[in-house]
Every structure is written in structure tokens, then in C-alpha cells.
Amino acid sequence: MAEQVFTLDRTKQVDIIRQATAIAAKAAFVADDFAQALFPRTEVVFNDRMLSNARQYLRSAVGQVETRICQIATNDLDVRHEKLQAISQGTEAQSFSMLENSGLLKTFEIVQHLFVKTQRSELAARLLQKISQEDLESTLTRNLDHQDPAVAEAAMGLLVAQSKTSGASGEMKASLEDLPPEIVYAFAWPVTAALARLTGYAGSQLKQAAERLLSAHDESASVARKAERLAQLLDQSKSEAEGLPHPMKDGLTLFIARLARQSGLTSDQIVAFTAEPNMARLVVVMRAANFPVEDALSIFAALSGGDHILTAATYRETDRDRSSALVSRWALPHAYQDAERILSSDLLSDQGK
């Protein structure tokens, strides 16, 4: 047998050493990741499409913030730096990999935002399986000819805002205008630090650019705020033609905003409830609002992934008073709910001593 000769590629050797070093630094977390996969703390299922969409949206959002910071630095603050100018042209996010590997994108605020955005995308996909694209588009435009000019104007504002966040089929596209202020803040400073490190630019203008980005951010331009405004105006118009909110009639975004307004909850909470087993909390919200059986079942069917069915008997047997009490509790600030839960736990443990 001929003797095999292996040549040593020093470049690859260095890469393997660097990779091994990086892996070793994170090896202590392997058991944590495996345990989380084996023993999840909730019953919410995250399918591969959701995870892929979340990552896609996250990369897009980082790119939006990164590009805008570089635009402010190079255009408004007159920074002459080749790499920053190239990034300002809107190329693929340069800082994403660095931020991802550092763990700076895993804050509660960012992950919660990703979850809600991803679940909204899931709901939109489910809805398209039950309503034609033509009918869906009519739900978005039906208020453009409303007899109240303020409603018509608000409907146009929502339509324009939504158009900025709709990418190609199945694509989750981030828009800087659509990001809540707390999320822009959560991205802005890590991105700024990553840009300084990646480009080697040590000037203070990058930090000034981030400050200008944050001070100029207008939350009122977001899809959520436009939907809330339209929901408020429709509620004030008291038109019997509006009836109860329904995703097949209002479209997903306006339906969520109308239900949130009616229940006293936030739109993000309504979206999160649809991801939970049997959409149980969404059913409680509808029962508390005294939705008729037929409407509740129709809404459930429109938003369900098909794995579960809500029956008339189940809905009727859901106690309305208890449902109202639960919804009132969920509407309280999260800080209060967390404190109440911790205090109750401490009280129980003290009683056991």
C-alpha cells in the first residue's frame, strides 16, 4: 500500500485552534442548552420556521440601526471614514455576527420583541390559509372610504406603515420606524460599540450619531401606534357596522389593536396569547368581553394553527366573572405582577417555617 502523505496547512491549523479555543470558552453552557431543549419551562412550541424568521428579522433590525447610525455619522456629522461610508449605503449588517457571538442580543427586551414579531408572522401565515389574498387586501383598505375623514386618514396611515414592513412572501422585514423606542435603545449602543471595534474608528461622532438616532426616533410612526389610533377612532365612531373585532374583517393588525383596546391589554399580550396551548388566554379574553359563541369560535378558527378546536360547550362553560378577573389582573403593569408573585411566594415560604 502506498504511503499517504498529508501536507500541513498552517492557515487551517490556526483556524482550528481559534475555533477550539472559542468552543472551549463556551463549553460550560452546553449542558444548559441541552437542558433547556429537554425541559422547557413553558408549553409554547417554537417551530423551525419561527426560529428562522426570528433570526432573519433580528439580522434585518440590526442592519437598519447600523445603517442609520453610519448615515448620521457620515452625512450629518461629516465623518470621512471609508468603512463607515460603505456601511451607510445599506449593505448587509456588519456587526451582527459580533453581537450574536457576544450574547449582547439576548436581552429580555430584544428576545420578547422577537417572539411577538415572529408570532405575528405565524398568525399572518395562518390567516392566509383561510382567506384569499384579494379578500385580505380588502380588509386593509375598507376603512379608506369611511364617512369620518379622521378614520379614513388613520386607515391610510396604517396602510402606509404596514407597507414598509412587508417584504417578499414569507420574509420578515424590519423597519427602523416600526421598532419600539426601548428596542431601538437596546440595539443602538451595542451596535455603536461593535462598529467602533470593527472599523477601528475611535472618534466620538459614532456615539453622537447613536444619541441623535435615539432622540429623533418617532414611535408614532410605527404600525402598532397607527393601528391603535385607528382602533381608537373606530371605537369613538360607535358605528354599528363595525361590530366586534374579527381578523377576517379587520385584518390581523387592526383586529389585535381593537381587541387590545377593548380588553385593556397590550397588542403584544394578545399576540403572545395566540402562541400558548389551546390559545387559552385568548379564549378567556373573548369570554371576559362577552363575545357571542359564534364570533368567538370563528375568531379562534381563523387564528388557530389547526391543532386545536374550540367547542361551543367549552366556551359557554368558561366562567365570565372569573375570566374578567383574570384579564384585569393581566392588564396590571408587569412590575406589579412580578412583585405580587414574588411576595406571594415569600409569604407561603414564611408560613411553612
Where do runs of H (alpha helix) occur along the chain?
10-26, 30-38, 48-71, 82-87, 96-102, 108-128, 133-141, 149-163, 181-199, 205-216, 223-237, 247-250, 252-263, 267-273, 280-288, 293-303, 312-317, 320-330, 334-351
Q: Which of 29-43, 261-275, 322-336 has the lowest average pLDDT?
A: 29-43
Q: What is the mean pLDDT of the chain?
A: 88
Q: What's the confidence (pLDDT) of residue 13?
A: 52
pLDDT tens sequence across 26-81 = 888 888 888 888 898 888 888 899 999 999 999 999 999 999 999 999 999 999 99
Across 119-124, average pLDDT: 93
- DSSP annotation of 220: G
- Residue 167 pLDDT grade (very low, low, confident, very high; cuts 50, 70, 90): low
pLDDT in tens, 174-187: 889 999 999 999 99
Residue range 81-89: mean pLDDT, rounded: 91
The span from the CA of 287 to the CA of 280, in Å, is 11
Count how many residues are written for the chain: 353
Selected residue with higher pLDDT from 180 and 240:
180
pLDDT at 171 over 90: no
Unique residue bearing C-alpha cell 411553612: 352
Q: Show me where the domains of the chain are located.
A: 48-128+174-217, 264-344
pLDDT at 351: 53
pLDDT over 90 (residue 314): yes
Mean pLDDT, residues 290-297 taken together: 97
Q: What is the pLDDT of residue 7?
A: 47
Q: What is the pLDDT of residues 14-41, one digit of tens each?
A: 678 888 887 888 888 888 888 888 898 8
Residue 172 DSSP SS3 = strand
Q: Which of 120-129, 131-140, 164-173, 194-203 has the weakest average pLDDT?
A: 164-173
pLDDT for 290 equals 96
Residue 333 sits at φ, ψ, to 5 deg, of -55, 145
Question: Is the distance from CB of 121 to CB of 252 less than 8 angstroms?
Answer: no
Share of the chain above pLDDT 90, in %: 62
Torsion of CA 314, 319, 324, 329, to 10 degrees: -90
Mean pLDDT of 259-277: 95
Question: What string of DSSP letters covers 241-302?
Answer: TT-S--HHHH-HHHHHHHHHHHHT--HHHHHHHTTSGGGHHHHHHHHHTT--HHHHHHHHHH
Residues 6 or more apart whose CB falls under 8 angstroms from that of 188 comprise 65, 69, 210, 213, 214
